[in-house]
Structure 1
Amino acid sequence: MHIFTDELIADPHGRYAQLRAAGPVHPTTTPDGEPVWVVTRYGDVREALADSRLSLNKANARTSGEYMSSMPPELDAHLLNMDAPDHTRLRRLVSKAFIPRRLENLRERIQSITDDLLDAADGPNVDLIATLANPLPMEVICELLGIPAGGRRDFRAWTSSLMSPEPGAAADSREAMRSMYRFLVGVIADKRRNPTGDLLSAMIEARDEDDSLSEPELLSMAFLLLFAGYDNGVNLIANAALALLLHPDQMTAVCAGITPVRAVVEEALRWNPPFPLGVRRFALEDLTIGGVPIPAGGRVWVSLISANRDEQQFPRANEFDPARAPGSHLAFGHGIHYCLGAPLARLEAEIALSSLLARHKHIELAVPVGELRWWPSFRKRGIRSLPVRW
């Protein structure tokens, strides 16, 4: 059975519901032809995310010999390709920048950026992604890392090339990777000469003075923080806004102060998570998940989007209900690989939605919902544009 089809892209929630009903784990192939086992039920997904027998290190993969990583080695030595103890070492270097207490100090700056973006929005008809959801996370993560303002538009364009599913996009993606690499090499060289007290400067110091990470790790971590910090934030803000647009009663409850925006963000993460699949894992030994045998070296994909709609874990799972009991969704993963940037993504989305609804209490879609264009991707759940009027 081949899972990764147009049907899954068109209706991921419906298709994954069928798969959950059929069984907990499904052997299939990836879009590039590699064997993979897809885990669909909440309990199995949660256990797999924290199972030390499943490695993120690609050296443990068993492939057909045709699989090639799309990532150049210079940008590949990051947390999503590492197990302990290297994962522990690198995560410790950057984790302090993302603890909630530290991020609360960024609240005022995030609010200021949000206000500027909304001030510039030329209503009454706007694209919420172009005006708010797209630029806000990019500005925030670039300021946190200390990326010069002049390079941010280019990085946004390169990221779009990397995520493009269009025919012929592979060549553009490779060129975007090369451009990102050259850009980051230049930024790091500048900061070595003139440290600026930001997260990237601290990472450079750890590299040069403490020898806590290698040069490829430095480049790769900078890339990962920029890429994930941007794309994750864009789709969370957009998906949460769309959920409210599709449920005007919930939007009214938020505007009336009945439903906290934070609860909306959490339910949006469960109901329509930005990343449908967790990072691929490789079995270190022969093992079973949900009673299904997986051989050593086998590639495992855990479906976060499926787990978050599992009726066994979430009653009325297909309903968008911010009043449901908080927590327990897996949108940001679970275990030692839980998303480092989760508190930042939550804070950005909370401020973006709160500020938007404080200004405009009567927002509606400017096009029929059927005209919204989702990214045709198995790995990303987001819309290309979100036209609204207020």
Structure 2
Amino acid sequence: MPALPAFPFPSDHALRLAPALAEARGDGAPVQVQPPYGAPAWLVTRYEDARHVFSSPAFGRDPRRAGVADSDVARVTPVDITAQTMVSADPPDHARVRRFVFHTFTPRRIERLRPSTERIADGLVDAMVEQGPPADLFEAFGLTLPVRVICDLLGVPAADQDRFTAWSDSLIEDSGLTPDEVLAGIAEMNDYLGEQADRRVEHPTDDLIGALVRARVEGDRLSRDEMVNLVRTLLAAGHETTASQIPNFVFLLLTNGDYKRLCDEPELVPAAVEELLRYVPLIAQGSFARYVLEETELGGVRLRPGDQVLVELSAANRDGSVFPDPEVLDVARADNPHLAFGFGLHRCVGASLARMELQVALSTLTRRLPGLRLAVPADEVPWHAHRFVRRPRALPVTW
């Protein structure tokens, strides 16, 4: 039997799709691949198939329900960083845990955070201007904005925010750390969050950690471990992905000329954010396996219980049957039902927060720094070669 194709497929640039993904989507049926860790999996690349996997009860996120051993979980990182979190839970546990944060992340509540987020963004640009060009946009702006917002929302002290950046990097980095080191970082983060929660038992607060503690103390069905894992997930996902997308978005806008268009037409920023979310392949290909719970068919392939499926969102978001001219970055695209935040039960609970932060980031930069440009040739921007979440190591800019 011939060896299965190694996955992820190679690409010539961090923000370009691998040609093999388009070929796989063109063939229609899922293809079996071998990820770096765990057992083989079926790769899904078409838009409608992706939505079906995300919404059908034939697929789950808890490997134990499908009889999949931890060591066999198909993944691109040494450790399954979603294990024992809301991300890997199925109903009814998933709904029970998710509802504790659902009301915090509604679009209306998130919109109330926009003025404070704008003040943070303006303050970061002030600091850049005061220091003078050149600057690393990732370090000076992209990294700091989302970590401050999510830490304020959850109630993490400002003095400890750098620690969370380091912990989050250890969770999503797929090179340089052993599985034991990743697990040690998770344990250290859990200990810290547990201490923060315990303090709020005696000294209640109005932040999200405080709200979760009140719910637990008042007898609701949320264990201490579930609460800690939930907060850890929110902290990591709530800053790392947005921190990576800000420099990704700006790099593309600067290199294709759309940055100036947004300066001239600021009303396009919301549509531009949606289009960039569709276009940018943020998450390493095929992350977060789904597990087949009952015999089913997908794209003409018969799947059996225990099979694993990797959904390649970036390929699904370039499906020409859904998106006209899918390879074109169109910042004015009107109809944009992308899957960047997933779909169905496990759709990203922080989608409204990410949207708001990205809109504020682009609006602030284009308003305050209309002359922003790369400080080095585009092909000299350094990129992380092996990351779960893709971004440049630095984005040198001037203005």
Pick the TM interval, shorter chain: over 0.9
Equivalent residue in structure 2 for 1:269, among 262, 277, 280: 277
Equivalent residue in structure 2 for 1:330, among 328, 339, 347: 339
Give the counterpart letter for 2:93 in structure 1: D
Alpha-carbon distance, 1:64 to partner: 6.6
Q: Which residue of 2 aligns with 1:205?
A: 214
Give per-residue Cα distances to partners, 1:292-339, cap 9 Å, x unaligned: 122101111101011011222212111110122233100001112111
Structure 1 pair 169–216 and aligned structure 2 pair: CA distance change class (3 A): same
Q: Which residue of 2 aligns with 1:17?
A: 22
- SS in structure 1 of the partner of residue 237 of structure 2: helix
Q: Which residue of 2 aligns with 1:44?
A: 49
Alpha-carbon distance, 1:66 to partner: 3.8
- SS in structure 1 of the partner of residue 197 of structure 2: helix
- SS in structure 2 of the partner of residue 293 of structure 1: strand
Q: 2 CA distance for matches of 1:112 and 1:258?
A: 18
Equivalent residue in structure 2 for 1:356, among 338, 358, 365: 365
RMSD: 2.1
Equivalent residue in structure 2 for 1:341, among 325, 350, 355: 350
Structure 1 pair 195–321 and aligned structure 2 pair: CA distance change class (3 A): same
Is 2:265 aligned against 1:257?
yes
Q: Which residue of 2 aligns with 1:366?
A: 375
Q: 1 CA distance for matches of 2:175 and 2:191?
A: 24
- SS in structure 2 of the partner of residue 260 of structure 1: helix
Give per-residue Cα distances to partners, 1:129-156, cap 9 Å, x unaligned: 1011111111111111111112111110
Counterparts in 2 of 1:87-236, with a 5 A limit? Answer: 87-121=94-128, 122-236=131-245
Give the counterpart letter for 1:306 in structure 2: A
CA contact 1:61–1:282 (8 Å) conserved in 2? yes
Q: 2 CA distance for matches of 1:292 and 1:67?
A: 21
List runs of 5+ in structure 2 lacking aligned partners: none
Deviates most, 252-261 or 143-152: 252-261
Alpha-carbon distance, 1:211 to partner: 2.3
Is 2:40 aligned against 1:35?
yes
- SS in structure 1 of the partner of residue 222 of structure 2: coil
CA contact 2:155–2:209 (8 Å) conserved in 1? yes
Equivalent residue in structure 2 for 1:81, among 79, 83, 88: 88
Structure 1 pair 171–212 and aligned structure 2 pair: CA distance change class (3 A): closer
List runs of 5+ in structure 1 lacking aligned partners: none
Q: 2 CA distance for matches of 1:160 and 1:66?
A: 22
Q: 1 CA distance for matches of 2:225 and 2:114?
A: 32
Give per-residue Cα distances to partners, 1:357-379, cap 9 Å, x unaligned: 11111221222222333333474
Give the counterpart letter for 2:34 in structure 1: T
- SS in structure 1 of the partner of residue 33 of structure 2: strand
Q: 1 CA distance for matches of 2:52 and 2:281?
A: 19
Structure 1 pair 258–175 and aligned structure 2 pair: CA distance change class (3 A): closer
Give the counterpart letter for 2:234 in structure 1: L
Q: 1 CA distance for matches of 2:66 and 2:330?
A: 40
Q: 2 CA distance for matches of 1:303 and 1:196?
A: 40
Normalised TM-score (structure 1): 0.93
Q: 2 CA distance for matches of 1:96 and 1:9?
A: 42
Is 2:7 aligned against 1:4?
yes
Give the counterpart letter for 1:100 in structure 2: P
Q: Which residue of 1 aligns with 2:59?
A: 54
Q: 1 CA distance for matches of 2:104 and 2:177?
A: 38
Structure 1 pair 139–59 and aligned structure 2 pair: CA distance change class (3 A): same
Deviates most, 205-214 or 225-234: 205-214
CA contact 1:17–1:306 (8 Å) conserved in 2? yes
Q: 2 CA distance for matches of 1:299 and 1:71?
A: 14
CA contact 1:76–1:220 (8 Å) conserved in 2? no
Number of matched pairs = 387
The percentage of aligned residue pairs carrying the same residue is 35
Q: 2 CA distance for matches of 1:44 and 1:172?
A: 36
CA contact 1:42–1:308 (8 Å) conserved in 2? yes
Normalised TM-score (structure 2): 0.91
CA contact 1:13–1:306 (8 Å) conserved in 2? no
Alpha-carbon distance, 1:226 to partner: 0.5
Q: 2 CA distance for matches of 1:247 and 1:110?
A: 27
Alpha-carbon distance, 1:168 to partner: 4.2
